[in-house]
Structure 1
Amino acid sequence: MKNKRLVAFDLDGTLLDEHRRIPAMLVQRIQELQSLGILFTIATGRMYPAATRYIEQLRLHVPIITCNGAMIRDHRQDQVMHHQVLDQGQTDKVLQWLREKGHRVLRYSFYGDDVFTDTPHEQTTRYEEGLGVTFMSVPDLELQVQQLAKHRHPTMLVLMLEAGVAQALSEELMSLLGSSACITSSNDYFIEILHPEASKGEALACLAAKLGIDQEQVIAIGDNRNDLSMIRWAGTGVLVGNAPPAIHHEANLITQGHRSYGVLEALEKLFP
């Protein structure tokens, strides 16, 4: 595909293997393609500090997309190029609704590079370890958000709950918030709440425009529902083999390989 100039890939469940590593053969292939002028970027639900190790490993040359598209950050200049925050009213509404309903969920408020939580739990510890960052524990997240509102608004609210419960709660939140927020999910355990115009697709379109790259020249590779906006937008949308079968119809290419091996398979097919 000689006309393809930019490849964007998700991290968890896509670029990373089951040990949250990028296999050496995939790193080598990406660097070979970069030497030929193909640009690569990350489009992840993670916050920026949780992605930096992979930026360095791949030696990426262009800004990356974080927080499910709410932020674009240029790591070379440590500059935020694009940042969409949640409306304070919607943030308060979600936290108040969770309290009134008595839903048993772990909740996290992302503010750029900082994460606050009032639900310490072994799952929270595993979440921190997986991201490689430390969250700030506070007595009351609702109060913390209100106190920060004078000078900061959250980039994203994340709820963690049992598999099978997330879908029903997500539908309730959609009814509560309507079009005033974007509600997505990176796996069966998470619900992510963002600015209504924040998505990986919108951020990828913004980044491509800044780089002077046409839509048809972009490849997007992902594995889950929060990747669909960029897979739909890109000239070529790819889902790796571990993507839920219910969303396979959204992609131009479905790989046989799972996770990082699916990414390698896609690159071999698209750049023979």
Structure 2
Amino acid sequence: MVAFDLDGTLLDSRKKIRSEVKIALNELQRTGVMLTLITGRSFAATLPFIEELDIMTPVGVVHGSFVRDKQGLEIAKRVIPKPGVRDALDIAEKSGCIPFIVGSDHDGELIICEEHKGHPVVETVLHAESDQVLFDEIRFIKCEDIDLASFGVYLVGMKDSVTEALTLCDSLPVQLFKSGLYPIHATGVSEEFENQSAVAMLSPVGADKAFALREIADCLGVGMETVAAFGDWHNDIPMLEAAGSAILMGNAPKGLYQKINHPNLLRTGPNDGSGIIEALRKLGVY
């Protein structure tokens, strides 16, 4: 089985699957190699690529928190419970970050506090979202009225504010989510915003891309040692480390290669070039 991240990996900078890659993946499936996708996108935003490649296996979405197939069969699901989401909102307010909540009740829904409508961070994220279409629906709700479980919460702000938010997360007496610091990187975002800002990604306990990959492999009866995984970003590290073969795209940020602990880590070309084809040939599957 071969598993792909989407943005920055399987998709080129135009958010398309390159024609030669599509031909190669169709040939792989014809010869019996299974394909799956494991992405930070919602299922709704992933479905067009599932259909384009005619993928019948389950896929992992929202950074691995949710595993399902296109027929609607849920394989695995991890969420931040309602009290955890309220904790995240409190931390956002104390640290001066803007929270973005990925709802778990309706797939593909991004929820933003109504009070933050028009905020520069919100406008920047909405502009980036219009370019990438990672979510199916965006809703504004009064912060005090938000009462839901979540596949994940993003706290976005200046780097100092995000660092403070992570400190507050670590000080919680009961950990209802796990937290990680990530740089800002999105289409349509200015270099100044990327340099000055960061994001704390709050995820369900036990959920990451490795969790999704293992659930999919187990569902299909595939040994993890036979799985090849392709990725390009920080959130792909767990998936790459869990797979039998790990392929890091040439467009990955500087220093990411050194962070990955894998005996068979392969560095290939970028997503806008022949990186995927080169790696598939080196793996001997194409």
TM-score (structure 2 length as normaliser): 0.81
State the 1:217 CA deviation.
Answer: 0.8
- Which residue of the other structure, out of 182, 188, 205, is the alignment partner of 1:196? 205
**What are the Cα deviations for residues 181-202 of structure 1, in whole angstroms up to 9, with x where unaligned?**
2224675354321111001101
Tell whether 2:150 aligns with 1:154: yes
Tell whether 2:263 aligns with 1:263: no
Number of aligned residue pairs:
257
Where 1:41 maps in the other structure, the secondary structure is strand
Matches within 5 A, 1:82-161: 82-101=76-95, 103-105=96-98, 107-111=100-104, 112-113=106-107, 114-118=109-113, 119-120=116-117, 121-129=122-130, 130-131=132-133, 133-138=136-141, 140-141=142-143, 143-146=144-147, 148=148, 153-161=149-157
Q: Is the 8 A contact 1:185 1:226 kept in 2?
A: no
Name the counterpart of 2:220: 211
Stretches of structure 2 that go unaligned for 5 or more consecutive residues are 185-197
| Residue type at the aligned position of 1:267 | L
Bigger CA drift: 61-70 or 87-96? 87-96
Name the counterpart of 2:231: 222
Q: Cα–Cα, structure 1 residues 66 and 184, in superposed 2: closer, same or farther, change >3 Å?
A: farther
**What are the Cα deviations for residues 79-104 of structure 1, in whole angstroms up to 9, with x where unaligned?**
22211110222221111121123x14
**What are the Cα deviations for residues 126-149 of structure 1, in whole angstroms up to 9, with x where unaligned?**
2432126330122x23x2322x4x
Q: Is the 8 A contact 2:80 2:176 kept in 1?
A: no
Q: Cα–Cα, structure 1 residues 155 and 24, in superposed 2: closer, same or farther, change >3 Å?
A: same
Name the counterpart of 1:3: none
| Residue type at the aligned position of 2:138 | F
TM-score (structure 1 length as normaliser): 0.85
Stretches of structure 1 that go unaligned for 5 or more consecutive residues are 1-5
**What are the Cα deviations for residues 204-240 of structure 1, in whole angstroms up to 9, with x where unaligned?**
1111011000011111111111111111111111111
| Residue type at the aligned position of 1:78 | G
In structure 1, C-alpha distance between the alignment counterparts of 2:272 and 2:55, rounded to whole Å: 17
Bigger CA drift: 173-182 or 234-243? 173-182
Q: Cα–Cα, structure 1 residues 19 and 207, in superposed 2: closer, same or farther, change >3 Å?
A: same
Where 1:245 maps in the other structure, the secondary structure is coil
| Residue type at the aligned position of 1:196 | V
